[in-house]
Amino acid sequence: MSDNKINRKDFIKGAAIGIGGATIAAMGLYSYSPMRKSHFKAKTRKLQDFGVCKSIKVTNISETSWFDNATLMGDIKKAGGLLVNQYEYNWPPFGNGKGLGKGSYSEGIEKIKHLLPNRLDEAWEIIKKNCINIDNAGGFAALVEIEELDGKKRKFLLDSGWSYKWMDECFKREGIDKMLANGEIEALIISHEHFDHFWGLPVTLKYKPDITIYIPEGFYSEGLSYIKDSGHRGKLIINKAGLTKMTPGFGLYNFNVPIICRVFGEQSMFFNIKDKGLVSVTGCCHQGIIQFCDTAYKELKYDNDKLHGIYGGLHISPFEDWDPKYDDLVISLGNYGFEKIGCNHCTGLLCAKKFIERGYPVVQGTARFRTKDKSYLGNGDVISFGV
Amino acid sequence: MKIERIFPSGRAPQKAKDLQIILKNIITLINYQPVIRTQLNWAGTFRIPQKNEAWTFKIKGFKGIFAISHNRSLTKASYVVLFDLFYFPEKDEEIAEKFSIKAELHANSTNYTEMIRKFTEHPNFASLFYIGELALQFNPHTQALSIGINAVSEDVVIAKNGIKIEKNGQEKYLLYPGEKEQSIPSFYLSSAVLNIIASSMCFLVDAKPFAINMKKIATTVTEISDGKIKKVKSKESLHRIFLNIVFGKDNNEIFFLSPTKKSEIIEEKTWTIKDETIPEGFFFFTFFKTPPVQNISPIDKNLLGINSKPPMFIVTGFLGAGKTTFIKQVLEFKRQKYHFGVVIQNEIGEVGLDENIIDSECKVISMDEGCVCCSLAGNLRKGIKKILNEFIPDFVILETTGVANPLNILAEIDALCDIVAFDSVITIVDALNFEKSTTEFVIARDQIAAADIIIINKIDCIEDEELKKIKASIQKINDKAIIETSEFGHVNNGLFFIDDKLHQNKKKLITLRAKSHVHEKIASLTIKDMPSIELNDFIKKFNNVPTGILRMKGLLQFKGEDNPMLVQYVSGKYEISKWDTDFNETFLVIIGKEEDLSEAKRILLS
């Protein structure tokens, strides 16, 4: 009887090329599939319209979050790893003098609270005594200028860095201090609660204590207290997961993901530039480029249905790693067809260099103000979209 | 139980939807802990970008891809969220044949991986790979959280009349009447998911389960005949199994994942976990082995016996093959995943140039001059210990000098096994100088012999024919290593550090025994304070150095340039590039056969 049978393995190998083809369809193999319950409905693209703007310009105030990665990682590792609460490291400004991994928000803020936000130099002297690796602290902050269709310009500050000392220097270098003081900057957007983006908050408040602040949902109690304790007197708006429409063509998207050092939630900026397409501006982009682009594709409506530009930390997140093919950022990024790419140092120097080698439209920097390489946009560098 | 660790803002879940966030947080947070993640068998994850939770992930020990996707959330006496579970087998693994023919055909199609990555967009495709249901449940009164699965021991489809197909004009049976078209071991697969999620939960909330409850009912098989589908009683004893694991004290828990009719239950068991006793039949659940980690500090990990020795990779390759470039890429790749590494180098020559080339993203430790293999027991051990204390790296790369014999290193690696976990030897082969180096130098051949992975670099400089020849020669020396190719040292790191491929290849190392300690008469010479020189003159001089010179590198001041330039020379090929750091002393290191060094120096300084 065996000669009237085809071995399953042989059949599969032989038929593999023609799935859905006539041979198989004729076998009636599909017949039992309909009885299987459908586990989910195929999702369709449901696009949210958040308007359109003419152009944007991003000035990198500081993207040197810290100066030496080995020192930072050594601190994190010795304090207990990537899940340890960031307020416990004893990093500036929340030092209690007890050493690495033994800090606390309440003990740290107690020592400097009375000096915030105006007497930052004095505060920094106290911080020096109580914190570890003070000179490694830098910070991330960027100025985003949006030009609306009628030519009206609006300014937003994205993040406020980390070290009071370094950030104040950077703010002065780029004239942010004056823009804040004379009310040119509409609001401060904090991308996430991380030390290098958020702990320099008093530097912004020193010049504009009543500025409106947007944070993503998920801040811990320490972070919420810090906003008050820093002397904030303006509006605080907490953005829920998903899209928050800001101004025409400008939206914030909160990816409600847990991040290292016990932080929850990161919001990124999306812009719809007239006749060009979508532009995104991120700090670290912890959620990773794949999540980021796919979310935009699935949820946002933008001109030309085209991902036009991106600026920020471009990398594959640690949660995108079972398929080596997609783990290669250089290849993945190529698939999205961006017309203008600006990397910050989070992207990785070699990666940025590979983008350039491959002929991707990368805007290069000037390597000034302690930025190490021209392959990425560093401190004081500018990138524009739609102009 | 410290639920605040997996739920933001430190509050308890207040609605069913919050449990969806808890699952996401468990998967995300555990993956931030490289050591624990590996310990618990996570082998890669990918979150499907969509509103409701959907993930694909790999578990060590399974070749295929698991997937989980949100089905629905309900609020009853407690909050419940239900997920569907799937397993997409690898086409060549044995279990693939247990899935339906249609599923197996999908597994053999070229767009299979693409479909898996977007499985939520292909419901009909995904349903062929369905294995069971997973539920998270939270009781707001008792604050107990349970994780459970509902799956059948074997998901059987029988072809009552067989399946016939036509081949060469003849009707043939693909399946005889009554044969199983599908027999998925659904419970086995689903329990692997339950296991890894519950284990991760144990670690994150710092608690052991309070109890385990298991209920069994009889189940049917599916029979297909002439396009009709029937559920029929099975001849074998097949069960539907509901297994719930409870965290937090809860005696009166009514599990959502339970049979609808109590009378159907043919077996029920509850284990209360009071001590270390593992319930019979559940020993494969690793969460019983997961120690309650109070504070995830490395010291505690050691006390608790979690292996936190960082893996050590040995990178070797003949002079100028591209080791430094390769290592830089590995470091960057790992850093993106929050893995922090240190590199230990010992280059011949007094100036540790490569230490300056690799940027400050990682810690580079230069060892004393000399060959690593000669000083393993002493210097290297001391060096590694110091780094481990100072930085607690996730991995260590030992870059050997271009003329070190890795076989010698392997012979002495045992002396380090209490501080690092030896991982593999990666050898970079220079396609351009392959012939010369392997015929003239025993060490170049030994580097190939000792490798787990061989990367043929600079293939952009050679023809395909040449590459084939090189591959064949390599296989003659070492037929077990994985061979990859690269241009400019660019390789897909995922292939080495994510895939199991490497791990499957490692066993042979143990059997390798070092040969006698071989040293070629290769030496180095350093010229400090090189006088500034015209670029063209210098190129002429470079071209005239004796053939025994293998490599030169250094910083040289050329006339008309503001800053010194980085010069690298490997067997007749040189590269001059800009050098943007504060390191401004000029020097040149010459490496090659001992007898040729002084002649080279004479020519260069003439």
Where helices occur in chain A by DSSP H, the ranges are 8-15, 22-25, 69-79, 105-112, 120-130, 164-174, 176-181, 195-198, 201-207, 221-229, 288-299, 324-327, 329-336, 349-357
Q: Which residues of B touch A82 (CB under 8 A)?
A: 32-33, 338
- Mean pLDDT is highest, among A60-64, A334-338, B51-55, B162-166, for A60-64
Of A8, A39, A80, the CB nearest to B84: A39
In a domain, A4, yes or no: no
- Name the residue in chain A with its Cα closest to that of B117: A323
Pick the range with the lowest mean pLDDT from A294-298, B133-137, B424-428, B504-508.
Answer: B504-508
Q: What is the pLDDT of residue B251?
A: 63
Q: Do B105 and A258 touch (CB under 8 A)?
A: no
* Residues whose CB falls within 8 Å of the CB of residue A259, separated by 6 or more in sequence, listed in order: A192, A194, A265, A266, A286
- Buried b / exposed e over B50-85, threshold 16 CB at 10 Å, is bebbbbbbbbeebebbbbbbbbebeeeebbbbbbbb
How many whole angstroms from its chain centre is CA B198?
Answer: 22
The answer to whether the beta carbons of residues B125 and B106 sit under 8 Å apart is yes
- Domain B522-605 sits in CATH 1.10.287.130: no
Q: Do B10 and A221 touch (CB under 8 A)?
A: yes
User: Residue A63 gets which letter from DSSP?
Assistant: -
Higher pLDDT, B503 or A314: A314
Q: Do A6 and B492 touch (CB under 8 A)?
A: no
Q: Do B102 and A43 touch (CB under 8 A)?
A: no
* Residues whose CB falls within 8 Å of the CB of residue A383, separated by 6 or more in sequence, listed in order: A57, A58, A60, A311, A340, A342, A363, A377
Q: Which residues of B touch A324 (CB under 8 A)?
A: 492, 494-495, 498-499
CA distances from B73 to B8, B53, B148, B243 (A): 19, 11, 15, 19
Q: What is the pLDDT of residues B354-400, one digit of tens each?
A: 444 444 444 555 544 444 433 444 566 777 777 777 777 778 888 87
**pLDDT band, very low/low/confident/very high, at B507 (cuts 50, 70, 90):** very low
Give the integer Cα–Cα distance in Å for B532 and A374: 27
The CATH class given to the B311-511 domain equals alpha beta
Distance from CA of B596 to the nearest CA of A (A): 36
- Work out the angle at residue B446's Cα, subtended by the Cα atoms of residues B409 and B396, and round it to the nearest 5 degrees: 40
- Domains in chain A, number: 1
Sketch the domain layout of chain B as residue ranges: 3-280, 311-511, 522-605
Long-range contact pairs involving B238-241 (C-beta distance under 8 Å, separation at least 24): B238/B152, B238/B153, B238/B154, B238/B156, B239/B152, B239/B153, B239/B187, B239/B266, B240/B150, B240/B151, B240/B152, B240/B153, B240/B216, B241/B149, B241/B150, B241/B151, B241/B152, B241/B153, B241/B187, B241/B214, B241/B215, B241/B216
- Mean pLDDT is highest, among A137-151, A282-296, B321-335, B558-572, for A137-151
Q: Beta strands B239-247 and B144-152: pairing type? A: antiparallel
Give the integer Cα–Cα distance in Å for B136 and B260: 18
* Helix axis angle, B594-605 to B535-544, nearest 10°: 150
Q: What is the pLDDT of residue B348?
A: 46
B87, β-bridge pairs: B66
In a domain, A17, yes or no: no
Of A28, A295, A318, the CB nearest to B337: A318
Give the integer Cα–Cα distance in Å for A201 and A215: 12
Give the integer Cα–Cα distance in Å for B108 and B143: 46
Q: Is the alpha carbon torsion for A259, A265, A271, A277 positive or negative? A: positive
Find tokens 């990425």 and name the residue.
Answer: A376
* Residues whose CB falls within 8 Å of the CB of residue B283, separated by 6 or more in sequence, listed in order: none
Of A6, A9, A74, the CB nearest to B165: A6
Give the integer Cα–Cα distance in Å for B48 and B171: 43
User: Which helix (H) or strand (E) element contains residue B172?
Assistant: strand B170-175
Q: What is the pLDDT of residue A25?
A: 43
A-to-B residue pairs, Cβ atoms closer than 8 angstroms:
243
Q: Do B332 and A73 touch (CB under 8 A)?
A: no
Distance from CA of B262 to the nearest CA of A (A): 24
Instruction: Say how many Å lie between the first and final Cα of chain A, rounded.
Output: 76
Joined tokens for residue B168: 């060469």
Distance from CA of A152 to the nearest CA of B (A): 35
Q: What is the pLDDT of residue A165?
A: 95
Q: Do A80 and B295 touch (CB under 8 A)?
A: yes
CATH code, domain carrying A217:
3.60.15.10
Give the integer Cα–Cα distance in Å for B78 and B19: 11
Residue B488: pLDDT above 70?
no
Of A24, A80, A315, the CB nearest to B336: A315
Q: What is the pLDDT of residues B262-309, one digit of tens each?
A: 888 898 888 877 655 656 656 556 665 554 443 444 333 443 344 567
Average pLDDT of chain B is 76
In a domain, A337, yes or no: yes
Higher pLDDT, B64 or B44: B64
Where helices occur in B297-341 by DSSP H, the ranges are 298-303, 323-336
- Domain ranges, residue A75: 54-385
* Beta strands, E only, chain A: 48-49, 55-62, 141-147, 153-158, 185-189, 212-216, 236-239, 242-247, 250-259, 263-273, 277-281, 300-301, 307-312, 340-343, 382-385
Give the integer Cα–Cα distance in Å for A348 and A330: 11
Q: What is the pLDDT of residue B308?
A: 62
Q: What is the pLDDT of residues B222-240, one digit of tens each?
A: 888 777 788 888 878 899 9
The answer to whether the beta carbons of residues B113 and B90 sit under 8 Å apart is no
User: Residue A386 gets which letter from DSSP?
Assistant: -
Q: What is the pLDDT of residue A39?
A: 55
Of B33, B56, B126, the CB nearest to A83: B33
Q: Which of residues 204-243 of B touch A (CB under 8 A)?
A: 222, 224, 226-229
Determine contact: B563 vs chain A, CB below 8 A.
no
In a domain, A28, yes or no: no
Q: Which residues of A touch B27 (CB under 8 A)?
A: 319
Give a three-class secondary structure readout of B42-67.
EEEEEECCCCCCEEEEEECCCCCEEE
Joined tokens for residue B77: 């006496």
Of B166, B174, B498, the CB nearest to A321: B498
What percent of chain A has pLDDT above 90?
A: 49
* Residues whose CB falls within 8 Å of the CB of residue B339, separated by 6 or more in sequence, listed in order: B34, B394, B395
Determine contact: B336 vs chain A, CB below 8 A.
yes
Q: Which residues of B touch A29 (CB under 8 A)?
A: 100-102, 163
Q: What is the pLDDT of residues B589-601, one digit of tens each?
A: 777 777 788 888 8
The answer to whether the beta carbons of residues A158 and A271 sit under 8 Å apart is no
Secondary structure (3-state) at B344: strand
Q: Beta strands B421-430 and B453-457: pairing type? A: parallel
Spell out the per-residue pLDDT of chain A, length 387, in tens.
Answer: 457 788 888 888 776 554 444 354 444 454 444 345 555 555 566 789 999 999 999 999 998 888 887 788 888 878 877 778 899 999 999 999 998 888 999 999 999 999 999 999 999 999 999 999 999 999 999 999 999 999 999 999 999 999 999 999 999 999 999 999 999 999 999 999 999 999 999 999 999 999 999 999 889 889 999 999 999 999 999 998 889 999 999 999 998 888 888 888 889 999 999 999 999 998 777 777 777 788 888 888 988 888 899 898 776 665 666 666 555 666 667 778 888 988 876 776 777 777 887 788 888 888 788 877 777 888 888 999 998
| Whole-number CA gyration radius for chain B | 30
Of A6, A16, A42, the CB nearest to B121: A42
The answer to whether the beta carbons of residues A243 and A226 sit under 8 Å apart is no
Mutation target to probe the A interface, by most A beta carbons within 10 A, among B116, B224, B303, B332 is B332
Amino acid at B474: I
Q: How many CB atoms lie within 10 A of CB B21?
A: 21
In a domain, A317, yes or no: yes
Q: Beta strands B155-159 and B220-225: pairing type? A: parallel
Q: What is the pLDDT of residue B176?
A: 87
In a domain, A31, yes or no: no
Distance from CA of B462 to the nearest CA of A (A): 20
Give the integer Cα–Cα distance in Å for A367 and A373: 5
Q: Which of residues 23-52 of B touch A (CB under 8 A)?
A: 24-25, 27-29, 31-33, 43-47, 49-51
Q: What is the pLDDT of residue B350?
A: 37
Q: Which residues of B touch A334 (CB under 8 A)?
A: none
Q: How many CB atoms lie within 10 A of CB A220?
A: 20
Give the integer Cα–Cα distance in Å for B445 and B434: 10
Residue of B516, B481, B520 lying closest to B501 (CA atoms): B481
In a domain, A326, yes or no: yes
Joined tokens for residue B369: 């001059």
In a domain, A22, yes or no: no
Amino acid at B10: G
Mutation target to probe the B interface, by most B beta carbons within 10 A, among A32, A64, A100 is A32
The answer to whether the beta carbons of residues B195 and B241 sit under 8 Å apart is no
The C-alpha torsion from A31 through A35 and A38 to A44, rounded to 10°, is 40
* Helix axis angle, A69-79 to B381-391, nearest 10°: 80
Q: What is the pLDDT of residue B199?
A: 85
Q: What is the pLDDT of residue A134?
A: 93
Joined tokens for residue A280: 């995104």
Amino acid at B427: T
B155, β-bridge pairs: B184
Amino acid at B21: I
